[in-house]
A = this chain, B = another copy of it.
Amino acid sequence: MTENTVALRPGSTIGILGGGQLGRMLALAGAKLGFKSHIFCPDENSPAFDVTPFKTVAAYEDEDALRAFAAQVDVITYEFENVPAATAELLASLKPLRPGANALAISQDRLAEKSFLASKNIPVAPYRAVHSLEDLERAIGELGLPAVLKTTRLGYDGKGQRVLREPADAEAAFAELQPHPLVLEAFVPFEKEISVVVARGADGQVRAFDAAENVHRHHILHTSTVPASIPPGVDKHAAMLAKVIVVALDYVGVLGVEFFAIGGEKPSLLVNEIAPRVHNSGHWTEAVCLTDQFEQHMRAVAGWPLGDPRRYADVVMQNLIGDEIDIVPSGIDGNTQPHLYGKAEARPGRKMGHVNRIVRAE
């Protein structure tokens, strides 16, 4: 069931697609394990380039560059789920690609993701595929309103979606999001968003970090708080669902699972989405776990045993967006671990860094 794998030796080279902060943090973790990283990214100002010996600046569709990259690395991973399918297939034919191309294909498409999850009895919000305005009107009739119309691909941070509150909203929303394939999702009156970062090793071992409670601002993650304030047992249930997902995908690496936690007498969880990579809501692990999500991913990708995900302390991760980076260093105290991404320009909405603040029991 699990691919037959040989553990990488220290000194091996790990190829990483994507040179943003996640690629940078993966490369830093890889360096601690004695690996060299080779970053492949079209942007010549990628922050990850500052911490690695090898880089390729080329488009993700540049077949010659991809082949040369693959020839120079021992295994390939990525920091983002929107790796073009042809790129993933080419690379996977040349070197081990971890996580595999199937995880990319599923997580790139909301509809494929939801039908995959539903097929594994993972609860998701009711949804309908929408190819036409007629489809949309029928779906509204079946799911009711409010509901959320989303593009099936390339949506993130609130982009590519419209909330429908009454039937008259349908036509304008459909027109705006066309010509992309769409999905209508029933509106979930959720109480909290929580997430679990889970890892599966090449040997099939599965380990989940504790659930984080996430708060967004302007559709961008603002804070992740651990432990999440959820009823007893809900965290274990979330971890169990996350584990089912990585086993079903025959996955190798770290995967983020976002849940809606629905309150009431019998609290329940719906999976909102999965991300086949290290996840912003797992940055807290750097501060309070022996093995953080970045090292965990690199251990998995290298075919090494996973680390223990247990948590030493309570923690709040806060993203520093745009000029929020200016709280550093004056807003840093002894209980704060800053992590900045080395980006030159603090544009509005840009993730510049994060801070992990420990909650000490005095």
Contacts and interface: CB of A to CB of B under 8 A. Distances in A.
Given A305-B332, A306-B334, A341 B52 contact: no
Nearest to A291: B337
A312 B52 CA distance: 31
A160 interface: no
Interface stretch (A133-141, A149-157, A258-266, A322-330): A322-330
A314 to B, nearest CB: 12
B10 A328 contact: yes
Contacts of A337: 290-291, 295, 307
Interface residues on A, range: 35 or more
Nearest to A31: B51
A33 interface: yes
Given A312-B313, A334-B307, A344-B11, A358 B50 contact: no
A328 B299 CA distance: 11
Interface string A347-362: 0000001001010100
Contacts of A10: 325, 328-329, 340, 342, 353
Contacts of A356: 290
A165 to B, nearest CB: 42
B339 A32 contact: yes
Interface in A45-71: 49-53
B32 A328 contact: no
7 contacts: A7-B329, A11-B344, A28-B51, A32-B338, A290-B356, A299-B329, A308-B334
